[in-house]
Structure 1
């Protein structure tokens, strides 16, 4: 599993926080790779591409709008790797119930730079 995301401010890198959560709370005991330099979604994709070269399936898991954007960016940067994308469980009923409307609005706003075809993509 690859976790990607740099530090925001003086705190720990997002990748490290997610990996620690997966190990300690979700009891994930598989291989973990960290990419902890990215500051944007574009950089997340750019920086994990070398780690994806030899994998058979790519699953991007995140908040739905962010995952859609990341998949579109992978398609832009490396269409050959994007062919290996498989569906992730981006939405789980009841998750983030209180803030979901705000996240949805923010997600729509951040997707404004994608083409119509990229926004329609199911993966």
Structure 2
């Protein structure tokens, strides 16, 4: 009996590791697909998309997105935009993100977009804030960011051509979120029969 339990445990552990590695690979491809690195000296705007937050304290997903957004910045002239309305709690996600960025010591150029309740609205509402950017990096979990980039390209091809890679995917970082996001994205694509939905408030961790 004990040997059987050990064998089952070993199999489950192997499956779990394989699932996490698969999620990492899917996330890495989504983070780099069709994107170039930024150019030295270009004015970069980093758009960080918020995730549903029930309290005024940034949850783990939003803390990761802020960290990824801040490390994507390259110079004091770069601008960060936090986007997200009050969806799951009383305070707009953008304000929660901005407060956490300040807690981490960020004091650079900052813009807030506090009305969006979906990925489409994130993109539509921030387009006026992106007009002057030489380069645009969109930060979220990698699969959600890829969907957001597709929406920007569809709505404004000229801005889509300014998209660059964000520093939102590092090996071994948030492995469970990456794997779950990849699995849910796959299920969503099979269910819809398309290459990816445009909705933000779907079951996928965004």
- TM-score, length basis structure 1: 0.82
- Give 4+ residue runs of structure 1 displaced > 2 Å after superposition: 97-100, 106-115
Report if aligned partners of 1:7, 1:37 keep a CA contact under 8 Å in 2.
yes
Q: Could you tell me which residue of structure 1 aligns to residue 158 of structure 2? A: 80
Q: Could you tell me which residue of structure 2 aligns to residue 119 of structure 1? A: none
Within 1, Cα distance between the matches of 2:179 and 2:153?
27
The structure with higher relative contact order (CA 8 Å, sep 6+) is 2
Within 2, Cα distance between the matches of 1:114 and 1:31?
35
Report if aligned partners of 1:65, 1:108 keep a CA contact under 8 Å in 2.
no
Larger-gyration structure (1/2)? 2
Bigger CA drift: 91-100 or 35-44? 91-100
Higher strand share: 2
Within 2, Cα distance between the matches of 1:87 and 1:72?
14
Matched residues, number: 114
Within 2, Cα distance between the matches of 1:107 and 1:93?
20
Q: Could you tell me which residue of structure 2 aligns to residue 89 of structure 1? A: 167
Which residues of structure 2 form unaligned runs of 5+?
Answer: 1-79, 197-206
1:4 to 68, 76, 83: 83
What SS does the aligned partner of 1:71 have?
helix
Within 2, Cα distance between the matches of 1:8 and 1:20?
17
Which residues of structure 1 form unaligned runs of 5+?
Answer: 116-123
Bigger CA drift: 99-108 or 86-95? 99-108
What SS does the aligned partner of 1:59 have?
strand
Q: Could you tell me which residue of structure 1 aligns to residue 101 of structure 2? A: 22
What SS does the aligned partner of 2:112 have?
strand
RMSD of equivalent CA atoms? 1.8
